[in-house]
Amino acid sequence: MNEINKFRIFNKLKSIYRINSVEDRKESTAEHTWSCLMLADFFLSEMKDKKIDRLKVYELLMYHDIVEIEAGDTPLHPDNTSTDKRERESKALATLQKQIPTVLSEKFGRLFNEFEAMQTIEARFAKAVDALDAEIHELNYKKDWKGWTADFLVAKKSKLFHEFPKMKKVFESVLKYLIENNYFNQS
């Protein structure tokens, strides 16, 4: 029963809120994780030209934001000047590895570090999915784009898609839609 009680910590991800909207509330990190998994499944089903380990991608995405249980979300936003994200997440990783079920502790650390280092094709793919998910999600919430610029978005995210032409095309299409529909020109 002790390991099951430790498992309950993952439920805290449901109450970690991100900057993104969902109707009249904020999106939880758990919702974002689910959305990333669905988006990854879509692109993996579309991509026949790359050898990518589907299970590894799913695991990377499942674990990529678990540190937010301790560290909170650090949103990518033009107004966010936080510089301690890596340090906070590293501390959160160490803390959480002691609190989660033993059988998952080492795996969590390995997957989180792989995701952050982006040294495998699966990690780069998962990172690109993570970056694209927010843009697609926020198409429904124009007001959330206040303060953003196309240049900021391109500078922060476009490099993630070079290896994945289908995702790059979607990113460029979303960017074009945002520009044409004045998402960036809100006062």
| Structural domain 2-180, CATH architecture | Orthogonal Bundle (1.10)
pLDDT value at position 127?
98
- What contacts 24+ positions apart, CB below 8 Å, involve 19-24? 19/73, 19/75, 19/77, 19/144, 20/134, 20/137, 20/138, 20/141, 20/144, 21/138, 21/140, 21/141, 21/143, 21/144
Looking at residue 77, its pLDDT comes to 83
What pLDDT is stored for residue 16 in this prediction? 94
The pLDDT value recorded for residue 1 is 73
β-bridge mates for residue 28, sequence order:
17
What's the predicted TM-score (pTM) here?
Answer: 0.94
Question: What ranges do the domains of the chain cover?
Answer: 2-180
Q: What pLDDT was estimated at residue 132?
A: 98
DSSP E strand boundaries for the chain: 17-22, 25-28
Closest by Cα among 126, 16, 27 to 72: 16
- What's the confidence (pLDDT) of residue 76? 86
pLDDT under 70: residue ranges of the chain: 187
